[in-house]
Amino acid sequence: CVATFLMMTSFLSTINHFQMVSTVALPDDDIFTLDIVSKIHVDHDSTAKASSDFGRIVEAIPNGVFHPTSPADIAAVIRLSISQSKPFTVAPRGQGHSARGQALAPGGIVIDMRSMGRGNHGYHANVSSDELWVDVGGEQLWIDVLHATLEHGLAPRIWTDYLHITVGGTLSNGGIGGQAFRHGPQISNVHELDVVTGMGEMITCSQDKNSDLFFAALGGLGQFGVITRARIALEPSPKRVLWVRIAYSDVESFTSDQELLISKRSNGSGFDYIEGQVQLNRTLTEGRRSSSFFSASELDQLAELVLRTGSNAIYYIEGAMYYNDDTASSVNQKLERQLEELSFAPGFVFVRNVSYLEFLDRIGREEQKLRSAGVWDVPHPWLNLFVPKSRILDFDASVFKGILRDAKPVGLILMYPMNKDMWDDRMTPATPDEDVFYAVGLLRSAVAAGDLERLEGENAAVLEFCDREGVGCKQYLPHHASPDGWRRHFGEKLGRVAAMKRRYDPRAILSPGQGIFPTGA
Ligand code: FAD
């Protein structure tokens, strides 16, 4: 069996395989008992699929793709790696929806986490209706978590905009969305984790148990272990949603209304979800003529607003008000009351009445449209930033009305504030040092020749502006090409991040695509 494995795989080709495996003391003979060998696929099709991601910018071929069916399988492959004098790298891959190679393992092993769903490891959305939590596997898609919990009349409190990504993938970053102002990011809504560390140990951790690993793994960019189970907080799920977009022609009113809505000052905190978008002039005049929300005629109305006000951009708040049968009769008044507090362009309120599921899976529908138009599988040079509230108007002036002033309409720009006190600073993500900061997502696609270079140039100019002007931005879903970039990214947290790495992945084999630590020590 070992000999077959060694003949099949090329991933350890620089070493004398047979000698190496036969002389190294493997901890529990896991490799034999769990038959991990047959779960490593080294054929071209398998490795090619794991060599790129949603971003389609970076490519790196692994030497094999591992298909575990249990956490013990994952532990075994990690222990096999670290038992070598020169360990191979190991990258868990959820949906591979990262943009810059974060889930790739050049010359190493990619763990196809989705194959865990075909195993029988017992975490298939076990719901506790009494204690309001769900246990889910790290490989599970949020859309499946939603369906499973809705059967109990419950749902997680905070959602990413897109649900066809994995629990382990978003918890390794943060998991932000329009409910974060109230509940914090997804990582603030986790009670417990099972993690397989870079030492091949399977550890259960929480705020009270092995808490250093718990805090490190949440937002940990896959550096400290593989999340195989998460216990996630639930709330009673609403049935329906008033889904609202409110347009502004000036950024000052837009941001001060957003900040009011996420603060406790607002009348009854009417919205359960608050995000926002920036529509650059050319997006409205040359972009797609309908969206999952706006009809063609509504887009025309918005384009007229741009012309009338001479604004280079319009902004809209996207809000959602949840309701049930018993609150159906009062939700419209609640919306009216909330709107009275706001200073949007008169008449520019657009309301949809949809089911909760329809609302949450809105980007899933958009994906289908983009796929049929052939513009889903294209390069995505996305740039996500957290911008401190005190600098958001400078950012708007220099970026939206400067660097991107005449930008081609190729994608989406998100902009919405969050409350820092909903983030736990013991966790790994880096956030700006202000009570309120904005998530700004330049979520653009390279659809035509030359787009990628141009968009990358614009991203570089935005980052250069932030550095030069000392804006204090932090990247979300970060990518830094140099150790200095990571040093500045983590700031004061760097010492703790490095110490946790030494403790839980001392050979530096995990998630090498993040490029934070030199790999394979
Ligand atoms: P992958 O890309 O497969 O992995 C991401 C990183 O996590 C890699 O380093 C990988 O090695 C590591 N990893 C994966 N699984 C595990 C695990 N089980 N344990 C430990 N490490 C692991 N993000 C938001 O926060 N909010 C949004 O609203 C949002 N919207 C999005 C919309 C779209 C259309 C897309 C494509 C992405 C969006 N994202 C959003 C970003 C998304 O959360 C991240 O890209 C996330 O990493 C995707 O999950 P994935 O399963 O594809 O992870």
pLDDT band at residue 10 using 50, 70 and 90 as cut-offs:
very low
pLDDT at 63 over 70: yes
Q: Which range (67-76, 403-412, 451-460) has the least confidence?
A: 403-412
Identify whether the C-beta of residue 234 lies closer than 8 Å to the C-beta of residue 157: yes
pLDDT band at residue 35 using 50, 70 and 90 as cut-offs:
confident
Q: Which atom, in ligand 1's list, is nearest to the CA of 176? A: 25
In angstroms, what is the span from residue 414 Cα to ligand 1's centroid?
A: 17
**How far, in Å, CA of 421 to CA of 398, rounded?**
28
In angstroms, what is the span from residue 227 Cα to ligand 1's centroid?
A: 13
User: What mean pLDDT comes out for the span 40-63?
Assistant: 97
Contacts of 431 (CB under 8 A, 6+ apart): 386, 420, 423, 425, 437, 474
Burial readout 168-192 (b: 16 or more C-beta within 10 A, e: otherwise)? bbbbbbbbbbbbbbbbbbbbbbbbb
Q: CATH 3.30.465.10 residue ranges in the chain?
A: 118-236
Angle between helices 483-490 and 494-504 (to 10 degrees): 110
> What are the Cα distances from residue 324, in Å, to 133, 153, 178, 330, 356?
21, 12, 19, 10, 10
Bridge partners for 339 per DSSP: none
Q: CATH 3.40.462.10 residue ranges in the chain?
A: 240-476
**How far, in Å, CA of 191 to CA of 209, rounded?**
11
In angstroms, what is the span from residue 167 Cα to ligand 1's centroid?
A: 8
The DSSP-derived string for 276-307 is EEEEEHHHHHHS-S--SS--HHHHHHHHHHHH
Query: What residue's CA is closest to ligand 1, atom 16?
Result: 168
pLDDT at 379 over 50: yes
In angstroms, what is the span from residue 126 Cα to ligand 1's centroid?
A: 22
Q: Which CATH architecture has domain 2-116?
A: 2-Layer Sandwich (3.30)
Element holding 33 (H helix, E strand):
helix 30-33
> What are the Cα distances from residue 205, in Å, to 191, 212, 228?
9, 8, 12
Q: Tell me the best of 56, 104, 172, 440 to mutate to test the pocket of ligand 1, counting ligand atoms within 8 Å of each CB and taking the most.
A: 172
How confident is the model at residue 6, as a pLDDT? 37
Q: Tell me the best of 73, 77, 98 to mutate to test the pocket of ligand 1, counting ligand atoms within 8 Å of each CB and taking the most.
A: 98
User: What mean pLDDT comes out for the span 446-461?
Assistant: 95
User: What mean pLDDT comes out for the span 248-260?
Assistant: 96
* Fold assignment, 240-476: Vanillyl-alcohol Oxidase; Chain A, domain 3 (3.40.462)
Percent of the chain with pLDDT over 70: 90
For residue 120, what is the DSSP state? -
pLDDT at 495 over 90: yes
**How far, in Å, CA of 431 to CA of 389, rounded?**
12
Q: CATH 3.30.43.10 residue ranges in the chain?
A: 2-116
What does the pLDDT look like over 107-143, one tens digit per residue? 999 999 999 987 666 667 899 999 999 999 999 999 9
How confident is the model at residue 17, as a pLDDT? 31
pLDDT band at residue 283 using 50, 70 and 90 as cut-offs:
confident
Identify whether the C-beta of residue 221 lies closer than 8 Å to the C-beta of residue 102: yes
Q: Which atom, in ligand 1's list, is nearest to the CA of 367? A: 34
In angstroms, what is the span from residue 160 Cα to ligand 1's centroid?
A: 10
What does the pLDDT look like over 193-207, one tens digit per residue? 999 999 999 999 999
**How far, in Å, CA of 77 to CA of 84, rounded?**
11
How confident is the model at residue 311, as a pLDDT? 80
For tokens 């070992």, the residue is 2
Which CATH number applies to 118-236? 3.30.465.10
Bridge partners for 19 per DSSP: none
* Farthest-apart Cα atoms in the chain, separation: 77
How confident is the model at residue 14, as a pLDDT? 30
What does the pLDDT look like over 182-237, one tens digit per residue? 999 999 999 999 999 999 999 999 999 999 999 999 999 999 999 999 999 999 99
3-state secondary structure of 465: helix
Tokens of 191: 């009670």
**Which of 8-17, 19-28, 257-266, 311-320 is the most confident on average?**
311-320
What does the pLDDT look like over 261-276, one tens digit per residue? 999 766 556 899 999 9
Query: What residue's CA is closest to ligand 1, atom 43?
Result: 170
pLDDT at 390 over 50: yes
pLDDT band at residue 488 using 50, 70 and 90 as cut-offs:
very high
**How far, in Å, CA of 329 to CA of 500, rounded?**
52
What does the pLDDT look like over 122-131, one tens digit per residue? 667 899 999 9
In angstroms, what is the span from residue 91 Cα to ligand 1's centroid?
A: 13
More confident residue, 31 or 374: 374
Q: Tell me the best of 93, 110, 163, 369 to mutate to test the pocket of ligand 1, counting ligand atoms within 8 Å of each CB and taking the most.
A: 93
pLDDT band at residue 26 using 50, 70 and 90 as cut-offs:
very low
ipTM: 0.99
Pocket of ligand 1, beta carbon within 6 A = 53-54, 91-98, 102-103, 113, 138, 160-162, 165-166, 168-170, 172-177, 221-222, 226-227, 363, 477, 511, 513-514
Other beta carbons within 10 angstroms of residue 508's beta carbon come to: 19
